[in-house]
C-alpha cells in the first residue's frame, strides 16, 4: 500500500508541482536572450528596435502572465476534477503542457514573441490546477498507513511541496552556461517541461481513478471497490467502502457557501481577513521577485557575472533544505511560530539587502546604479565606486535568507491554516479567496518589480520588508495557533 501510494504521489507531483516550480524560475537565466529576441523581432517588423521602457514592459508581461494563467486555472480546477476525476484532469493538464512547450519551443524559429507569452500563460493555467493535487492527498490520508506508521502518511502528503522546490532547483541547474544557459538554447530551456508531462501522461494508465472521486462524486460503488482493492491489495474492502459512503452522506447534508456569502459572513470575518492577509503577504513578501529576477538582483548587488548562475543554484539547494526542515518542524512547533519566524526573517533580510547595497557603493555609484536610463534597460550595471566590496556577499546571504525564511513557514502553512480556520461548508470559498489573492499578488510582483527597481533602486526591498513585518505583526496580534484545535476553539479565540 505504501509503495503504491508513494508511486502515485510521486507521479502526480512530478508532472504537476515540479512543473509549477520550474515555471517560476525558468525565466530567470534566459532574460537577456529573450529580450534580445523581442528586440530583433520588433526591428524586423517595424524597421527599428524597441525603446528600453517598452522592452522592459514586454518582458515583465512575459514573466507575469504566468500568474494570470494560474488564476484562471485555479478557478477552473473544481470543475475539471468534478467532471473528469483525478486521472482525467491530470491527463488534460498534461496536454496543456505539451501545447505550451510546442509554442515556446518554436517561437524563435517562427519569429513570434507572442508564442512565448502564450506558452507562459498556458503553463500558468496548468500550474493553477496544481491546487487539485491535494485531492490526491485525500486518498493518501484516507488510505495511508495506520499506526505506528503515521509519519509515512504525513511524508506522502508533503511530497508535492518538496517537488515545487525541486522544480525551482531544476530550472536553475538547467540554466547553467554548461547546460541550457547559452543564448541559443533558451527555447529548449523553456520547452523542457514536455518531458515530465509526457511521462505523466504515459504512466497514468498504470493507476486507477481516485476511489473517493468514484464513490463520493460519481456514486460508482463497483468502480470505487475495484480501485480500493488495487490500492489495498486485498479483496475485502467493505469497511473502507462504508467509511467513504458515510463521508458521502455527511457531505451531501452540507450546503457550500459561495465566495460572496463568505465575504459578507460576520461570524467568520476575522478568519476570512486572516486568509486574505496571509495569502497576499505570502506573495508580496518578495519571494516572487527573487524567483523571477534572481540573476538581476545578484547583478545589481555586484556579484561577478560568471559567478551568478552558480550562486543562484546554491539558493535553490538552500530552498530544498529549508523546505524539508519546515516539513519536519510544522508538527513539532505548530503553524503560528513558523509563520512568525518566516515573515520576520524575510523582512529583516529584505532590510539587510537594502543596507548592504547602500554600503557597497559610494554616492556616485548609487546614482549610476539606479539612474532611470540605465535601470530601465536592466542591463549589466557599471562598475561603481567600491566602498565595502564584501557587502556583495552579504547581499547574496540576505537573498538566501529570504528564500529560507519563506520555505520554513509562509510557503506551505497558509494553505494548511485555511483548511483549519473554516468548516467544510466555508472551506471551498475560503480556498477560492486565498488562491485568487495568491495569484493576483504573484502577477503584481512579477510585473511591477522591474519598474520598482527603476524608481526606488536599492530601497525597493524596503517595500517587501514593510509587508513582511506588518503581516508578522498581524499574525502575532490576531491569528491563533490552529494545531490540534477544533474549529469551535479557534472561533472562540478569534472572538
Has residue 383 been placed in a domain? no
Using DSSP's 3-state secondary structure scheme, residue 413 falls into: helix
Question: Helices H, strands E: what count in the chain?
Answer: 25, 0
> Is the same domain home to 264 and 248?
no
> Is the same domain home to 235 and 286?
no
pLDDT at 445 over 60: yes
C-alpha cell recorded at residue 136: 490526491
Report the CATH number that the domain containing residue 339 is assigned in CATH.
1.20.1250.20
Other C-beta atoms closer than 10 Å to the C-beta of 6 total 15
Which residues on adjacent β-strands are paired with residue 361?
A: 386
Q: For residue 376, what pLDDT is reported?
A: 39
> Is the same domain home to 308 and 423?
yes
Q: For residue 388, what pLDDT is reported?
A: 65
Has residue 381 been placed in a domain? no
Is 0.95 topped by the overall pTM? no
Confidence grade of residue 251 (pLDDT, cut at 50, 70, 90): low
What distance in Å separates the CA atoms of residue 126 and residue 74, rounded to the nearest whole number?
A: 9
> Is the same domain home to 155 and 294?
no
Sign, CA dihedral 151-153-155-161, equals negative
pLDDT at 307 over 90: no
Q: How do residues 379-415 score in pLDDT, each as one tens digit?
A: 334 444 445 667 888 888 899 899 888 888 788 778 7
Has residue 371 been placed in a domain? no
> Is the same domain home to 30 and 145?
yes
Q: For residue 156, what pLDDT is reported?
A: 53
Is the separation of the CB atoms in 231 and 143 below 8 Å?
yes
pLDDT at 137 over 80: no
Lowest mean per-residue pLDDT among 41-45, 114-118, 272-276, 420-424: 420-424
C-alpha cell recorded at residue 84: 473528469
> Is the same domain home to 357 and 398?
yes
Q: For residue 362, what pLDDT is reported?
A: 52
> Is the same domain home to 38 and 113?
yes
Calculate mean pLDDT across residues 276-298.
87
Has residue 104 been placed in a domain? yes
Smallest Cα–Cα separation from 19: which of 194, 258, 152? 194
Q: For residue 467, what pLDDT is reported?
A: 94
Using DSSP's 3-state secondary structure scheme, residue 67 falls into: helix
The domain of 413 spans 258-364+388-494
What distance in Å separates the CA atoms of residue 494 and residue 480, rounded to the nearest whole number?
A: 7
Has residue 375 been placed in a domain? no
> Is the same domain home to 123 and 234?
no
- 3-state SS, one letter per residue, for 250-297: HHHCCCCCCHHHHHHCHHHHHHHHHHHHHHHHHHHCCHHHHHHCHHHH
Is the separation of the CB atoms in 473 and 276 below 8 Å?
no
Has residue 376 been placed in a domain? no
Q: Total structural domains in the chain?
A: 3
Most confidently predicted of 52-56, 87-91, 139-143, 331-335:
52-56
Q: How do residues 419-444 score in pLDDT, each as one tens digit?
A: 778 877 787 788 888 888 889 999 99
Q: How do residues 457-479 score in pLDDT, each as one tens digit?
A: 889 899 999 999 999 999 999 88
> Is the same domain home to 188 and 241?
no
pLDDT at 191 over 60: yes
Cα distances (Å, whole numbers) of residue 318 to 74, 321, 325, 356, 475: 28, 5, 11, 21, 26
Residue 446 dihedral angles phi and psi, to the nearest 5°: -60, -35
Has residue 374 been placed in a domain? no
Burial class (CB in 10 A: 0-12, 13-18, 19+), 359: middle
Has residue 477 been placed in a domain? yes
Amino acid at each position: 500500500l505504501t509503495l503504491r501510494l508513494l508511486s502515485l504521489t510521486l507521479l502526480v507531483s512530478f508532472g504537476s508541482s515540479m512543473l509549477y516550480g520550474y515555471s517560476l524560475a525558468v525565466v530567470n537565466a534566459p532574460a537577456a536572450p529573450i529580450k534580445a529576441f523581442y528586440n530583433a523581432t520588433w526591428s524586423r517588423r517595424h524597421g527599428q528596435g524597441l525603446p528600453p521602457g517598452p522592452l522592459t514592459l514586454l518582458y515583465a508581461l512575459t514573466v507575469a502572465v504566468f500568474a494570470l494563467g494560474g488564476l484562471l486555472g485555479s478557478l477552473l480546477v473544481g470543475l475539471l476534477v468534478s467532471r473528469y476525476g483525478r486521472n482525467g484532469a491530470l491527463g488534460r493538464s498534461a496536454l496543456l503542457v505539451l501545447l505550451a512547450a510546442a509554442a515556446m519551443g518554436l517561437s524563435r524559429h517562427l519569429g513570434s514573441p507572442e508564442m512565448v507569452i502564450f506558452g507562459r500563460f498556458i503553463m500558468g493555467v496548468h500550474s493553477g490546477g496544481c491546487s487539485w493535487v491535494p485531492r490526491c492527498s485525500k486518498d493518501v490520508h484516507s488510505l495511508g498507513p495506520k499506526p505506528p506508521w503515521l509519519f509515512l502518511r504525513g511524508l506522502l502528503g508533503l511530497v508535492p511541496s518538496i517537488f515545487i522546490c525541486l522544480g525551482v532547483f531544476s530550472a536553475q541547474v538547467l540554466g547553467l552556461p554548461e547546460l541550457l544557459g547559452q543564448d541559443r538554447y533558451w527555447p529548449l530551456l523553456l520547452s523542457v517541461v514536455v518531458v515530465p508531462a509526457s511521462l505523466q501522461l504515459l504512466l497514468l494508465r498504470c493507476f486507477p481513478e481516485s476511489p473517493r472521486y468514484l464513490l463520493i462524486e460519481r456514486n460508482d460503488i463497483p468502480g470505487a471497490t475495484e480501485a480500493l482493492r488495487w490500492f489495498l491489495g486485498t479483496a475485502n474492502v467493505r469497511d473502507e467502502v462504508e467509511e467513504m459512503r458515510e463521508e458521502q452522506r455527511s457531505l451531501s447534508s452540507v450546503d457550500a457557501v459561495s465566495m460572496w456569502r463568505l465575504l459578507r459572513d460576520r461570524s467568520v470575518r476575522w478568519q476570512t481577513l486572516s486568509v486574505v492577509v496571509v495569502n497576499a503577504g505570502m506573495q508580496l513578501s518578495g519571494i516572487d521577485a527573487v524567483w523571477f529576477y534572481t540573476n538581476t538582483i545578484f547583478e545589481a548587488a555586484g556579484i561577478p557575472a560568471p559567478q551568478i548562475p552558480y550562486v543562484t543554484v546554491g539558493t535553490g539547494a538552500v530552498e530544498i533544505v529549508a523546505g524539508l526542515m519546515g516539513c519536519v518542524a510544522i508538527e513539532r512547533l505548530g503553524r503560528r511560530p513558523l509563520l512568525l519566524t518566516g515573515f520576520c526573517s524575510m523582512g529583516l533580510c529584505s532590510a539587510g539587502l537594502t543596507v548592504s547595497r547602500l554600503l557597497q557603493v559610494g554616492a556616485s555609484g548609487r546614482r549610476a546604479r539606479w539612474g532611470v536610463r540605465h535601470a530601465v534597460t536592466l542591463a549589466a550595471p557599471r562598475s561603481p565606486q567600491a566602498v565595502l566590496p564584501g557587502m556583495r556577499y552579504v547581499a547574496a546571504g540576505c537573498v538566501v535568507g529570504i528564500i529560507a525564511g519563506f520555505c520554513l513557514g509562509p510557503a506551505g502553512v497558509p494553505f494548511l491554516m485555511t483548511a483549519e480556520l473554516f468548516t467544510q461548508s466555508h472551506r471551498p470559498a475560503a480556498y477560492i479567496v486565498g488562491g485568487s489573492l495568491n495569484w493576483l499578488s504573484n502577477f503584481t510582483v512579477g510585473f511591477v518589480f522591474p519598474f520598482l527597481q527603476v524608481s526606488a533602486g536599492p530601497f525597493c526591498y524596503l517595500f517587501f520588508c514593510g509587508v513582511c513585518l506588518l503581516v508578522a505583526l498581524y499574525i502575532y496580534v490576531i491569528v491563533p495557533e490552529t494545531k490540534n484545535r477544533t474549529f469551535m476553539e479557534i472561533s472562540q479565540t478569534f472572538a
